[in-house]
Structure 1
Amino acid sequence: MYLGRAVEPVAYDQVYNNPQHPCTKALLSVVQVPIPDPDLEKKKKIQLLQGDLSSPINPPSGCVFRTRYPIAGSECGRSAPSL
């Protein structure tokens, strides 16, 4: 979910095992279960989202996640993805 909209509407196991949306990937990189090996745990990467936070009161046109997606194209501002 991002600004109250589903960004990756698939089954739970698909989201957890093979996330496709950058918002989902960033979320899962933070909430993963700690790895018991300290060396591996230190190497784990957290994906930080860049860009401008969208206002839930005045969301951007089109896809609400486009302001935080590094490769969003101009078409993303014209229409939201159909779910």
Structure 2
Amino acid sequence: MLVQRLEHKAPGRVEKVNPAYTSQTCSACGHCAPESRESQAVFRCVACGHRAHADVNAAVNIAAGRAVRARRETPVRVSPKREPQHTTSV
């Protein structure tokens, strides 16, 4: 119901993102590894060394729309101060 209300209030701007692997994916470099989760609260990327609170790191990935696709391709760098832009394919 929440998604329906959001879609009604912001047509075309609501994007459903699968949260799978967002807590194991680095929001800085896009590397995905279970070993990057040092604990429930600590995320440290084994590839680039980026450190963050695990939930904040996952939220950045979700906000950038980098859920599962981050495992297969290089993520698009998105400024945390800018709303994600939607691309339309023709």
When Rg is computed on C-alpha atoms for both structures, the one with the higher figure is 1
Sort the TM-score into its range (normalised by shorter chain).
Answer: under 0.3
Give the helix-richer structure, 1 or 2.
Answer: 1
- State the TM-score, normalizing by the size of structure 2: 0.21
Give the strand-richer structure, 1 or 2.
Answer: 2
